[in-house]
Amino acid sequence: MSIDVLTTVTNNGTLNFTRVYRTKRDRPAIPVEEILDRTSKYRFIFQNPIDLHKLFEDPDPASAAICSGMRKLRLDLLHPLSNLELTEGESTGGLSDGPNVTPVVENWEYACRAIPKNHGIEDLIFDISCKHEIISLSSPLRRLVQYASASMGFKAKGNLRCQVQRGKTLKHKGPIEALERCIVAS
């Protein structure tokens, strides 16, 4: 069983890890030293693609050790949209291209490119939870899942299992099944 940790990187490169519980609101910080001690027991959650990119591009030995020991990863793909007001086309068109969705998709693609060849990630979850009600999912999101699963799968040292996790705002399973068909590495 893995321990979920929300992972953030400040502008000056400071790593922050916060324990995430499924049943409690309490979110205690976890020291970097503790993460380094047993990196493989954690599932690293990224809600911001820039944090993912900064961690994998950071030459600091602690960051490099965490990246090389990372086995489980969850990308909260739609989290950056949670505090934005979507345009009518974005909200009714299933998160189609628009001034909010397009940059988020591009940032996640950019961040996934930072993950190096021969990475040790074995388990990847694409979380599509969002505060906005989602009726269908757009081609930009499907392309993102396809791109990320393919590029990370091709660069993986071993097998990479990918899955899509939905939030409560997704009203039916059809969009999940469509996204799961986009997964290249599993």
Residue position matching structure tokens 């960051």: 63
- Give the predicted TM-score (pTM) of the model: 0.88
Q: Measured between alpha carbons, how far is 94 from 103 in angstroms, rounded to an integer?
A: 16
Q: 113-126: per-residue pLDDT in tens?
A: 999 999 999 999 99
Q: For residues 4-38, b (16+ Cβ closer than 10 Å) or e, as one string?
A: bbbbbbeeeeebebeebeeeeeeeeebebeebeee
Q: 59-115: per-residue pLDDT in tens?
A: 999 999 999 999 999 999 988 888 878 777 776 655 556 777 888 889 999 999 999
Tokens encoding 139: 């081609």
Give the number of domains in the chain. 1
Domain containing residue 87: 3-182
